[in-house]
Structure 1
């Protein structure tokens, strides 16, 4: 059986005032082409299909269009909820999408066996049993107890998540026996594991509770498809536990990464092979660093990757000249007439100026609530570490409020 593992699409993301709609549309078309070429039996999206719990209408349309077009390829689809996704929003179309060969697990289900799925080959025969585990919220598996220390809460949450995996794996083993025993078991997850290398765009999930989940706590599945970390990587050097990473760069520190999806081949004996399929770069994105003199040459070189229709998006970190008060004007002069657009200027000493071009044209309609909050934070004089921490706490509160309303 052939599984295509992907995650962290973040449909609807606004990147410093820029939409990623065209990139996501190009990626969806490319992915369906890969499904056909590689004769993929099932696609797994391991969380964060959307960037926010209330995605814009065009992002929902992209999601629905992808499902319809994938259906025509003869491939099954499984969508797992991530920490960015709204359980209620993903779940509202679950029954309808099941008629199109798409199964959605937006959050931990009341009945555990609802998270147990049989994946089929193109000929209709069972190819794998899936332990479909989405992002696990603490309230899904834990009851709050008075008097617990932070360390106690972390240990309790880790144990509860591990128990959830073990209980579902036990059901999977029983299902395999029912199917004749020659069917591999796959598991998913949307969480941070011990030793995983993250990037700037990855949000802390369990604020103050769980730093990372140990690989030893996973059950002995043939393959474990993980989401949340945007850098593609093996976990703990283990071949069968993988983050596929995000399909597009979601922050400037991801600009140099080769994005990929993973083609996973299994048979009755277990995992046979994993192949990385490189995702084309649909939008040039670069981070440049140096003095103004050095940046002049770097910007000209970067411009070779762009065009009038698709300029290169730049982050510029100014080194020895960072004391100058007119950096925006100077960098704008360096970019004049070139197919580049500077989205962020950073001074070596940590002061950030966002949105050199387009800021004057920016309106509330073009910004998400997270963008507005982030811009307000930047105007209050907090350092970057404090800003990141406050933004994470804000995002968690908003997510909990949305779930409460649902």
Structure 2
């Protein structure tokens, strides 16, 4: 079996008011070509198909158009799992219809473990693998809330519940694997997940999940599957220095701090029930972007050095500009406009690097859109005279509140 692992498409994302539709269409064209060229049997998309619980109509249309194209391709199995950005209701509204096309959608935890264990087949309907489809697990999916519980107790309870969910699915998969082995068929077991595993490298665009309960899941509690396809982290990487537990990362940069990492999909090849190899296939860049930093003179040099030759008609080169100057430049937007000088370049975000001052007063000249909600809270907290323990507890509670508000917003769409 040849399995292609991708995740975190974030269809419908508004990137600093810019649509990513052109990039997603280009990625899908590349993906379909890659499936054909690499003789892919199974496509696994490990969560965050959409960017929000209420994706725009063009994003849903793009998703459904891809389903038709996948059904017409050479791929035998397609599996989508829900992520923390996805609405279970939105993903499941077309679940039964897509099942007729052999496209499996597991947007959230289902009523029984057996429903989440999928037997993968080739074009001749012969079994080639077993997949434990584990989506993003919300605390309410696996836990009952009890008043008076400490944060540490909630953390341990959620970690235990997630591990138990994995174990229940893996047990079903092992049982089916043994049944097929009795018939002389050796099948690998694949698992998915959409969560943060301890020790991974985050990026600016990754929304914190399990805040206040479980910041990261220990890799040792994952099942002993032959390959584990993970989503949520936008940088492609191995987990715990293993070959078989991986994040594929997002196919396009979702923040400027992801530009230094090559975007990839993982191609896992199996020899019967054993993982043979994992190859990372580089994804082309569909939208030129750059993060520039320096004083005004250095910025002018960097802007002049940008290669604009590959831009298509109507496309601009997107920039994040960090100005390193102790002086507050009130006319900075005008100066940057002069540097661009009518070229196909667009500055999406401007940052100023100066000596850190905790105050959020307007005299800093830093706007709120340059800060995350966590940075705003942390800077305000820094103005108070608090010991480290209390400060840490307040930060944890604030992050838990933000996470709960996000979950409530998603719940309203289900």
Task: Write the deviation string for residues 298-331 of structure 1: whole angstroms up to 9, x where unpaired.
Answer: 0111253664632210000000255221111111
Structure 2 counterpart SS, 1:239: coil
2:338 matches 1:337? no
Number of residue-to-residue matches in the alignment: 386
- 1:25-64 → structure 2 map (5 Å cutoff): 25-64=25-64
2:119 matches 1:114? no
Distance in 2 between the 1:392 and 1:295 partners? 39
Distance in 2 between the 1:321 and 1:72 partners? 58
Task: Write the deviation string for residues 176-203 of structure 1: whole angstroms up to 9, x where unpaired.
Answer: 1222251110000000001010100000
2:330 matches 1:325? yes
Contact 2:189 2:273 in 1 (8 A): no
Distance in 2 between the 1:118 and 1:97 partners? 16
CA shift at 1:378, angstroms? 8.2
Structure 2 counterpart SS, 1:288: strand
Contact 2:54 2:413 in 1 (8 A): no
Distance in 1 between the 2:404 and 2:103 partners? 28
Which residue is equivalent to 2:299?
A: 295
Which residue is equivalent to 2:104?
A: 103
Distance 1:258 1:43, change over 3 A: same
- 1:113-132 → structure 2 map (5 Å cutoff): 113-132=114-133
Which residue is equivalent to 2:405?
A: 397
Q: Which runs of 5+ in 1 are unaligned?
A: 355-373
Which residue is equivalent to 1:249?
A: 253
The equivalent position to 1:189 in structure 2, one of 193, 214, 221, is 193
Distance in 2 between the 1:33 and 1:158 partners? 39
Larger CA deviation: 62-71 vs 267-276: 267-276
Aligned structure 1 segments of 4 or more residues deviating by more than 4 angstroms: 350-354, 374-379, 383-396
CA shift at 1:121, angstroms? 2.2
CA shift at 1:101, angstroms? 1.7
Distance in 2 between the 1:164 and 1:191 partners? 14
Distance 1:173 1:382, change over 3 A: closer
2:318 matches 1:313? yes
Contact 1:12 1:58 in 2 (8 A): yes
Distance in 1 between the 2:84 and 2:132 partners? 18
Structure 2 counterpart SS, 1:238: coil
Larger CA deviation: 265-274 vs 383-392: 383-392
Which residue is equivalent to 1:365?
A: none
Q: TM-score normalized by structure 2? A: 0.88
Distance in 1 between the 2:212 and 2:118 partners? 33
Distance in 1 between the 2:344 and 2:338 partners? 13
Distance in 2 between the 1:305 and 1:113 partners? 53
Distance in 2 between the 1:173 and 1:378 partners? 44
Which residue is equivalent to 2:210?
A: 206
Which residue is equivalent to 2:392?
A: none
Larger CA deviation: 58-67 vs 180-189: 180-189
Which residue is equivalent to 1:86?
A: 87
Distance in 2 between the 1:305 and 1:386 partners? 45
Distance in 1 between the 2:249 and 2:144 partners? 32
CA shift at 1:135, angstroms? 0.2
Which residue is equivalent to 2:168?
A: 167
Distance 1:67 1:339, change over 3 A: same
2:73 matches 1:68? no
Larger CA deviation: 290-299 vs 337-346: 337-346
Distance in 2 between the 1:314 and 1:397 partners? 31
Which residue is equivalent to 2:7?
A: 7
Q: TM-score normalized by structure 1? A: 0.89
Which residue is equivalent to 1:360?
A: none
Larger CA deviation: 381-390 vs 43-52: 381-390
Distance in 2 between the 1:49 and 1:225 partners? 15
Which residue is equivalent to 1:267?
A: 271
Q: Which runs of 5+ in 2 are unaligned?
A: 357-363, 382-394
Structure 1 counterpart SS, 2:149: coil
Which residue is equivalent to 2:386?
A: none
Distance in 2 between the 1:26 and 1:405 partners? 29
Contact 1:204 1:392 in 2 (8 A): no
Distance 1:397 1:10, change over 3 A: same
Distance 1:162 1:141, change over 3 A: same
Distance in 2 between the 1:280 and 1:377 partners? 30
